Amino acid sequence: MILLTIAVIGIDAYGVNISQELEHQTGRSIDFSTVHTTLKRLEDKGFLHSKMGGATKERGGRRKRFVSITSIGYKALRESQGVRNKLWSQIPIQFQIKSI
Amino acid sequence: MPPKWARKILAWSCPKDSLEEVQGDLLELYNYWLETEGEREANKKYILNAIRLQRPFSKVQGKPSIKFNMSAMLKHFSVVAYRNVMRSRSFSLINIVGLSLGLASSLMILLWIMHERSVDNFHTNNTQLFRVYTNFTNQGQIMDAGYNTPAMLPAELKKEIPEIEYATGFVKYFRLSLQDDIYETFRVGDKIEKLKGSRAEKDFFKMFDYKLLAGSAENALTGPQSLCVSRKMAELLFGSADNALGKTVLFDGRKDLIVTAVFENVPNISTDQFDYLMNWDAWVKENPFKQSWGHFGTLSYIQLRPDADWKKVENKMKGFLKSRLGGMTADRKIELGLQRFGDQYLHSKFENGIPTSGRIEYIWIFSGVAALILFIACINFMNLATARAVDRSREIGIRKVVGSSRKNLIWQFISEATLFTFLAVILAVGLVHLFLPWFNELTGKDISLPFGNPYFFLILPLLVIMMGLLTGSYPAFYLSSLKPTKILKGSFVFGHGAVFFRKGLVVVQNVMSVLLLIATLVISRQTNFIQSKNLGYDKENLVYIPLEGDLISKYSIFREEASIMPGIKAVDRCSQFPHAMSFRLPAVEWPGQDPNMMINFALASVGYDFVKVMNLKLIEGRDFSREVKADSTNFLVNEEAVRQMRLKQPVGQQITVFDKKGSIVGVLKDYHTNSLRESIDPIVLDVKEHLNFGTILIRTQPGQTKVAMESLEKICKKINPSYPFLYTFLDEQYGKLYKSEEVISRLANVFAILAIVISSLGLFGLAIFSAEQRKKEIGIRKVLGATLGNILSKFSFDFLRLVFLGSAIAIPISWYVMKGWLQNFAYRIDLAWWIFGLACLITVIISLMTIAMQAVKVGLKNPVEALRTE
């Protein structure tokens, strides 16, 4: 989900706007700490690539860590989408209609 | 801004590589929450997130290999440390023993200090308990201060001042002259016991934590016949503490008392020691002079309400006596003050009318000594450890080449040091356990290791870690900084800085041991001086017998019979103990007296033979004589009195003491009326052979003490059968005045020896180190023809310089400190230069002996061994 959100934001994704975007998109409030840890894990897996940005005043002079999706990450996203699509397509018709 | 502590938590716990961005992100979010949801919610969220980011919740998976490495390293370190200990057993032994000696002695001192501090501080109401003191101002100057108060004071204070919840009087000295040692007689059936005790008011057991075994705190001391006894007394009189309640006891052969309570024996951490308590009011009624506001003879203890401010109460009480005692002006007054009950033991010496110093000085001094000894021991440990670095330099070099980081090396040394201190602490606790009985005997306490105290087990490991860090830090940081190429090439030499540092440590140690040595010498010489000083009277062969029971009425028969018994030279009596005359009053008047002058005279009533019994010298006039009728109203004074009264013609001078008028018949040569801490008081003696207080003085024939005591016992049994025969010797009592000095002197001896042993160890370490460093230099000297003597002197001189420097620093410090200590005594020894000289000499000799061993070893080595690597 987070990986997807990062893909949605595109460039300039970092901790704060990811969690805000998630909140926005899902309507659920999401802990920043969860986001932070997940980012860390995703980076360790090689799905993300991160670099430090410039310092801004509103952050008390601290730099941001921008993240972007690597090709492996993109591939993983794709794969999961493929799996989902495949699963969706196998749900019986009546349920599909009902849910719509 | 988010709360500071939450930010701290974040900064402290977050891994360093991601701290910056996390802080930034959170701050940005915080501001966003602040706008959208308000401060409260934002704070809450921030804190929640900061906590959620803590390690266990947001653990970033570390590399498992590091963990593995850590435990392997630890194992490796301990193996290496163990092998090091075993390889140089004697060296390690010296090191550990030195450290544990230091630790043990400071632990012992610490226990002693804790015990001293606990005295009188064990009561539940400790913070509300106070003791009243008085100070006397004349002509705007504080003349005298003390704890004695009028007997009615506590009850009146309680009535008048609402903040006082409870109040009680207490008696420490029963009769004017007799100090702590008064025993009173109790009889049950045919059991007669002499015990020490006191009088107190009904609030007493409500205020203090003296545990009642029977009876109630409410009713223990209410009736005029009530008697509260200790477990010990109950067991003595009734065989057990259980069936004492309600029993009748004959007191002093004249009054029946009923046991109303039994209390547990008073613990020895209480200054007030008593085996029984009796009703206060009955006692005051029996002694009508106690009902006067002008009679200051008892102690007052009060307990304030929990919410009361004692400073305010003290201010209220200050002028309390003004309306009750006549004749007080702004310039001449007696004021009351309050002291915390728990402070009385350590702060009992009055300065400027306020109890400030006292035993607390010894606490400070010994805290200092403990810190010093521990410090010396740690320094030694470091010194010896670095001295060994030469041996281990190759190990360090190899480690570095193989790839050990500096951090690793530091940890290695610190963990080694911790292992050593761990062993040392265990050994020290063992030593303390072993020597505590001896130490208790020395100090007259019953201290034990607080094995039952959880803090004790918390503090010990803490001590191990702290000392390990402290002692390990220097070798760790220094040795790990060495360049591997240099070490492995074999040209390993300490820089100037390091050498200077090590020498500095040796100097510091030396200062300490010289300091302690001088202190020991001065204290023991002063103690000797006190014991051997000619007091102006003959203190040997003098016996005190209390004047009590039938002896009072039959005193003259006793005197006549005793004087002719074998072994007895002379018999007389005195209202005060002549070796410690504590009763002083400005109660003497004479024509031509300066009305503004206040002289506190030591007043005593004696018999006709007092001068003979005491072996006093008259310098003018004559002694009292039974032949002269007028002598019953005449006086003897001493030189000091003449001097202070400014009399030109003392003999024949009319004086009035209280309401007794008479003339001075003789002047006595000054003799010491008290301990040498105090100067000689002006004395006025008169004859009162009929009074019922005081003590009998008996001069026995030298060498016939045994015979004399047998004769005395026979007479006492005959004249005074209902009292056990009780006696003391004057010289014994005199010795007791210096009990605390005695203890201090013995303690100082022990610790001086310890300090010297420990600092010799330090010097020993430096000698080994230096011998190793100068191996080549000495080898070359030998090759060029130097003799063993040359090398010895060359080698030793370097160290002696340090020893001399240490002594030079120690002398002025010790001079200052010891001069301060000697101020406690009105009569004291001079701080002769030879004391300092001797202390330095002893240190030099001991140092030389320590160094010589190493020097000879180095000097005898074959130079080839030292030089072949070149």
Number of domains in chain A: 1
Q: What is the pLDDT of residue B301?
A: 93
Q: Which of A24-33, B77-86, B260-269, B359-368 tops mean pLDDT?
A: B260-269
**CB pair distance less than 8 Å for B23 and A60:** yes
| Average pLDDT value for residue range B224-230 | 92
Give me the domain span that covers residue A42: 2-95
Other CB atoms within 10 A of residue B442 CB: 16
Interface test with B, best of A31, A36, A44, A67 (most B CBs within 10 A): A36
Q: Which of A30-34, B181-185, B249-253 tops mean pLDDT?
A: B249-253
- Write out the two tokens for B658: 């209280």
- Determine, yes or no, domain membership for A100: no
**CB pair distance less than 8 Å for B20 and A19:** no
Q: Which of B497-511, B632-646, B746-760 tops mean pLDDT?
A: B632-646
Contacts of A15 in chain B (CB under 8 A): 21-22, 25, 29
Contact B317, B311 (CB under 8 A): no
* ipTM confidence: 0.70
**CB pair distance less than 8 Å for B60 and A37:** yes
* B483-528: pLDDT as tens digits: 777 777 665 566 666 677 778 878 888 888 888 889 888 988 888 8
Least confident among B50-64, B135-149, B597-611, B810-824: B50-64
| Average pLDDT value for residue range B57-66 | 47
Query: Using 50, 70 and 90 to split pLDDT, how confident is the model at B64?
Result: very low
Q: Which of B18, B20, B31 sits opposite A58 (nearest CB)?
A: B31
Q: Which of A37, A52, A65 sits opposite B58 (nearest CB)?
A: A37
Mean pLDDT of chain B: 83
Contacts of B41 in chain A (CB under 8 A): none
The CATH number that applies at residue A50 is 1.10.10.10
- Determine, yes or no, domain membership for A77: yes
Distance of alpha carbon B388 from alpha carbon B381, whole angstroms:
11
Residue B830 φ then ψ, to 5°: -80, 150
Amino acid letter, B864: V
Q: What is the pLDDT of residue B679?
A: 85
Other CB atoms within 10 A of residue B441 CB: 11
Interface test with A, best of B22, B23, B25 (most A CBs within 10 A): B25
**Nearest one of B18, B47, B21 to B33, comparing CA atoms:** B47
**CB pair distance less than 8 Å for B20 and A62:** yes
Contacts of A36 in chain B (CB under 8 A): 18, 22, 25, 53, 58
Interface test with A, best of B4, B13, B21, B60 (most A CBs within 10 A): B21
- Determine, yes or no, domain membership for A47: yes
Q: Answer whether residue B743 shows pLDDT above 60.
A: yes
* B368-418: pLDDT as tens digits: 888 878 887 887 787 777 777 666 777 888 888 888 888 888 888 888 888
Q: Which of B27, B32, B58 sits opposite A36 (nearest CB)?
A: B58
Min Cα distance B19 → chain A (Å) is 10
Q: Is B712 exposed, middle or buried (0-12, 13-18, 19+ CB in 10 A)?
A: buried
Contact B354, B337 (CB under 8 A): yes
Min Cα distance B28 → chain A (Å) is 6
- Write out the two tokens for B829: 């020894």
Least confident among B304-313, B566-575, B731-740: B731-740
CA atoms within 13 A on the CB side of B833: 1
Q: Which of B28, B49, B61 sits opposite A59 (nearest CB)?
A: B28
- Determine, yes or no, domain membership for A67: yes
Contacts of A60 in chain B (CB under 8 A): 23-24, 27
**CB pair distance less than 8 Å for A59 and B27:** yes
Which residue in A has a C-alpha nearest to residue B54's C-alpha? A33
Contact partners, residue B324, CB within 8 Å, separation at least 6? B150, B156, B293
Q: Is the pTM of this model over 0.90?
A: no
- Write out the two tokens for A31: 């802990």
Contact partners, residue B569, CB within 8 Å, separation at least 6? B541, B613, B699, B700, B701
Contacts of B29 in chain A (CB under 8 A): 15-16, 19, 32
**Nearest one of A59, A60, A31 to B28, comparing CA atoms:** A59
Contacts of A59 in chain B (CB under 8 A): 24-25, 27-28
- Write out the two tokens for B831: 């701080």
Contacts of B18 in chain A (CB under 8 A): 36, 40, 65
**What DSSP element (H or E) covers B567?**
none
* B517-536: pLDDT as tens digits: 898 889 888 888 887 888 88
Contacts of A62 in chain B (CB under 8 A): 20-21, 23-24, 27
Which ranges of B449-495 does DSSP label H, i.e. alpha helix?
Answer: 454-479, 484-489
**CB pair distance less than 8 Å for B27 and A63:** no
Min Cα distance B39 → chain A (Å) is 17
Q: Which of B18, B31, B49 sits opposite A31 (nearest CB)?
A: B49
Min Cα distance B805 → chain A (Å) is 56
Distance of alpha carbon B755 from alpha carbon B762, whole angstroms:
11
Distances (CA, A) of B705 to B9, B563, B700, B712, B723: 80, 14, 6, 10, 22
Q: 3-class DSSP state for residue B403?
A: coil
Q: What is the pLDDT of residue B358?
A: 81
